[in-house]
Amino acid sequence: DTAVSQTPKYLVTQMGNDKSIKCEQNLGHDTMYWYKQDSKKFLKIMFSYNNKELIINETVPNRFSPKSPDKAHLNLHINSLELGDSAVYFCASSRSGGARQETQYFGPGTRLLVL
């Protein structure tokens, strides 16, 4: 059973399009995250939700909007895609208590290429 799953795995799209990436975890965790990994492998947090409530919102363009329909799902919607949005996006989850000491479990990543 996949613990944290993301769809799609690959996403190639044109500049200006709107796209969504879906994330689901079956670990019963309360906290979920979105990270962006750039071409140099640098990993930076974008958002974090705890029980469907936004708790971390880093300096991310407002073209990015996370949505958590329930605590097992955290989707990422991106409007008006730009070339610089090309990256690998990772979803992760952890038990209640947030990032402080809990292990985060990562999905396999979504490779987004904006042309």
Partner 1 sequence: AQSVTQLDSQVPVFEEAPVELRCNYSSSVSVYLFWYVQYPNQGLQLLLKYLSGSTLVKGINGFEAEFNKSQTSFHLRKPSVHISDTAEYFCAVNQGGSEKLVFGKGTKLTVNP
Which residues here bind partner 1, judged by CB under 8 A?
A: 4, 40-45, 48, 55-56, 90, 92, 98-101, 103-109
What's the token pair of residue 111? 């490779």
| Rounded Cα gap, residues 81 and 105, in angstroms | 27
CB of 25 to partner 1, least distance (A): 12
In the bound state with partner 1, the residue whose beta carbon lies nearer, of 10 and 14, is 10
CB of 45 to partner 1, least distance (A): 6
| Rounded Cα gap, residues 17 and 101, in angstroms | 38
| Rounded Cα gap, residues 93 and 24, in angstroms | 9
In the bound state with partner 1, the residue whose beta carbon lies nearer, of 9 and 80, is 9
CB of 40 to partner 1, least distance (A): 7
| Rounded Cα gap, residues 68 and 86, in angstroms | 23
In the bound state with partner 1, the residue whose beta carbon lies nearer, of 64 and 90, is 90
Contact between residue 47 and residue 60 where contact means Cβ atoms under 8 Å apart:
yes
CB of 68 to partner 1, least distance (A): 15
